Amino acid sequence: MLRYVRRSVGRALAVRRRVETGLFEDPRAHERSLRLLVQCLTPGQRAEFERLDAFTVRGRSGRRYRITYGSIANIEVLGPPGTGGRRLCAGPTGVPVPAVMLAQKLMLETQESEFLRIAAQGSGTTWTGAR
């Protein structure tokens, strides 16, 4: 629980810095989008997000993706354990990070092939844990 509180405080400070530098205007938008993201996660995804600031999504093809807290190259295509996957990047701009993550989750779950068509792809590394 303490780890979750620390991460929440860290996110709040990051939001404040973004607001101060003008990256997005309304600090309340971040909190609202974070609440909405958490509400839209399955119980398993929610527990994973609270522990790791990341959650796993399964596309219609059965392929698994890990969406980490962020909006740039924050999606890792998961392969067999121990193998690095490529990174994907696609999402709306000018919105809070949790809103980007929710858009990515919904698109991967419902329109995986379209998401893969528009996503920027790059080589990835094996994910090592929460930020």
Indicate the domain borders of the chain.
Answer: 2-122
pLDDT tens sequence across 6-56: 666 566 656 555 544 445 557 888 899 999 999 999 999 999 999 999 999
Q: What is the pLDDT of residue 126?
A: 41
Q: Using alpha carbons, select from 57, 113, 129, 122 the residue that is nearest to residue 86.
A: 122
Distance CA 110, CA 18 (A): 31
Q: What is the pLDDT of residue 127?
A: 40
pLDDT tens sequence across 64-123: 999 999 888 899 999 877 566 789 988 888 889 999 999 999 999 999 999 999 998 876
Cβ contact 74:99 at 8 Å: no
